[in-house]
Structure 1
Amino acid sequence: MQTNEIVMPGKVEPSGFEVRVRDLPAPAQGQVTLRMDATGVSFAEQQMRRGKYYDQPAFPFVPGYDVVGTVTAVGPGVDPALVGRRFAAVIKTGGWASHLQLDAADLVPVPDQVSAAAAETVAVNGVTAWQMLHRSARVRRGGTIVVLGANGGVGSTLVQLARHAGMTVIGTASERHHETLRRLGAIPVDYRDPEKMYRQIRELAPDGVDAVFDHVGGPALVDSWALLRRGGTLVSYGTAATKDEEGNAQLPVLKSYGRLLLWNYLPNGKRANFYSFWAGLRFRASFRRRLAADLTQVLKLVAEGVVTPQIAAEFPLANAAAALSLAESRTVSGKVVIVP
């Protein structure tokens, strides 16, 4: 079998991506061969092409943080009944390929009534949103939260999960996305003027909020921290503010982590967390169980119509460069999806 792959050869513009065709061997012990039905563009790929993702592999490599696909072959030790069934998996790299191999233990079943594109949209984004809301912040019903970048893939999912859990959501986005946020149940605030944005949020929640979910990082973390009421939680899960800066890719993350750690020692009853999707990976079995449980919950909500995946656009694999360019334009709401 052959596979078509999109390769990031180095720090290049999307137009510099390469297409590679190579032979795919039979799956090894514990592995499956997956035919890609949908993959996507996450913020990680936007950082990776700049060499700015915290622990990305050395160039060249095949990007693709998550994937939904159909099993076409199984290796020794894997149940043959998996062939022909559809699964989602979070893999960090390798998803931008027509076929790929991965461990069967990483597969999470996708309900029949959920399309491949819909499942892909909530794979890494849904797990991230679910874990930040229910495992990191643990906001109770009736609470108020702030979601920065609420029109994005993680943000739009987080808004819906929070509304389903009975929370009030203040979401930031450019004005063109405000109607979408209202439809999802959030109170929109324009983020183009940060000083005005934080002032408006304080007017909407004068007693403070129960949680802020901040993917921006950088100096504005101080402003997000200040929005919290006593007992509130700041969840930082990215450093978008430094995406285009040159230098060490790990430094912005380490700076944010250090700042958040110190804030937890302040006597104000507030908490600060740096969310990492891959936290606990060294305990691989428990990590996989937790990921599968959380993604299964999100996919169940999609199947029930509680969560509507926000698909910004779909591109064929051969046009992955255009898909990334659109995602980086910051003009879309939801996630850009790549299909065969």
Structure 2
Amino acid sequence: MNAGELIEVVLPGKVEPEGLYVRRGYVPAAGPGQAVVRMEATGVSFAEQQMRRGRYYDQPPFPFVPGYDLVGTVAAVGDGVDATLVGTRVAALLKVGGWASHVVVDAADLVPVPEGIDPAQAETVVVNGITAWQMLHRKARVRPGQTVLVHGANGGVGSVLVQLARAAGAHVIGTASARHHPALRDRGVTPIDYRTEDVPARVRELAPGGVDAAFDHVGGRSAVDSWRLLAPGGTLVSYGTASTRDDDGSKQWPVLKLLGRVWLWNALPNGRSAHFYNVWAGRALNRHRFRVRLRTDLAAVFQAVRDGDVTAQIAAELPLVRAAEALRLAESGTVAGKVVLRA
């Protein structure tokens, strides 16, 4: 790759992973208040899997460059940006655009990556880490000694969430297929095989009084069960509708239905609470507050990585130009952790 060459992966429409294509051009310039980041690592998250099916709630119109987050080095800055930022390793939350060799980002949205963390390691805990941290500490406010239920405990968000919950002193019950159970036990998690076991019945055996918090990315029936498994005063944090990934029809309806349930559950006089978590919530209303929280919380996640409380779980690393292969691998359900694309 030439220093002045831009390489980006384009999602042209509702295609199989092999329908992605590589586009080449010139590296963009930074405008006022912006920075050009040379990507070192970006990832394949569930969002991209939904986007290629046209199933992500607020994805842009096709064609576009996917890539929810990235880690890289600042290559250039525009007017009004501190020139000493050049050469600094940073992380950025983007929603789209990360699958590119160079990305223009508002400098105020960049978060420094501490020394000693490899770009691929850091990348695994950007969107996954900020999601897990904010759900655990800002929504559920989990305390030592409490019991939490994490669905998809081996996944990108789930694997970070169970580690942060254990570091916070919580007892963790996690759902995952049987092949992931040994790794979960090593992390102090009590696993449940969602494929062969009756999950609600097993959770009731393990936590007869209910769980203090449940984190559900599945939606549908799973979210209802999770709500019913809460202890008095417990909190449900729902953050996805993975069960509808391959459905046809409206991509908005599953989310709206879930939001309606959350509203209804919170109206019930039983002391329990429900939240639908969206990492972008509040950004439009108060961008400064959003940025402060992002910087503060992601710094805490990076510190947890440095302290050894969180181990970055990398499923595979592939070059950017093999994005189709990476997406296919991430969708296979055969890997644990996050598939990372490198420049």
Give the TM-score range, shorter chain: over 0.9
Cα displacement (A) at 1:25: 2.9
Moved more, 218-227 or 48-57: 218-227
Counterpart check, 1:39 vs 2:50: no
Contact 1:3 1:100 (8 Å CA) reproduced: no
1: CA distance between counterparts of 2:62 and 2:28? 22
2: CA distance between counterparts of 1:288 and 1:309? 24
Q: How does 1:69-80 map to 2 (within 5 A)?
A: 69-80=72-83
Once the two structures are superposed, residues 87-139 of structure 1 have per-residue CA deviations (whole angstroms, 9 ceiling, x without a partner) of 00101000001111111111100011011001100001000000000001112
2: CA distance between counterparts of 1:50 and 1:268? 39
1: CA distance between counterparts of 2:103 and 2:87? 15
2:216 aligns with one of 214, 217, 220: 214
TM-score of the pair, normalised by structure 1: 0.98
Counterpart check, 1:179 vs 2:201: no
2:10 aligns with one of 7, 11, 20: 7
Output the amino acid matched with 1:221.
A
- What residue in structure 2 maps to residue 109 of structure 1? 112
Uncovered stretches (5+) of structure 2, i.e. residues with no partner: none
- What residue in structure 1 maps to residue 31 of structure 2? 28
Counterpart check, 1:51 vs 2:54: yes
Cα displacement (A) at 1:219: 2.3
2: CA distance between counterparts of 1:122 and 1:302? 9
Output the amino acid matched with 1:206.
P
- What residue in structure 2 maps to residue 256 of structure 1? 258
Cα displacement (A) at 1:220: 2.4
Contact 1:9 1:17 (8 Å CA) reproduced: yes
Moved more, 257-266 or 23-32: 23-32
1:170 aligns with one of 170, 173, 193: 173
- What residue in structure 2 maps to residue 270 of structure 1? 272
Counterpart check, 1:334 vs 2:340: no
- What residue in structure 2 maps to residue 156 of structure 1? 159
- What residue in structure 2 maps to residue 313 of structure 1? 316
2: CA distance between counterparts of 1:299 and 1:220? 31
TM-score of the pair, normalised by structure 2: 0.97
Partner of 1:125, secondary structure, is helix
1:138 aligns with one of 141, 144, 150: 141
1: CA distance between counterparts of 2:45 and 2:223? 22
Partner of 1:269, secondary structure, is coil
2: CA distance between counterparts of 1:87 and 1:120? 10
| Percent identity between the two aligned chains | 64
Contact 1:34 1:101 (8 Å CA) reproduced: yes
Cα displacement (A) at 1:306: 1.6
Once the two structures are superposed, residues 155-211 of structure 1 have per-residue CA deviations (whole angstroms, 9 ceiling, x without a partner) of 0100000000000000000000001111222111101146x1221111111110001
2: CA distance between counterparts of 1:193 and 1:221? 19
Output the amino acid matched with 1:237.
Y
1:95 aligns with one of 94, 98, 102: 98
Cα displacement (A) at 1:84: 1.0
Contact 1:4 1:20 (8 Å CA) reproduced: yes
2: CA distance between counterparts of 1:220 and 1:313? 29
2: CA distance between counterparts of 1:269 and 1:34? 46
2: CA distance between counterparts of 1:88 and 1:301? 16
Question: Aligned pair count?
Answer: 339
Contact 2:142 2:168 (8 Å CA) reproduced: no
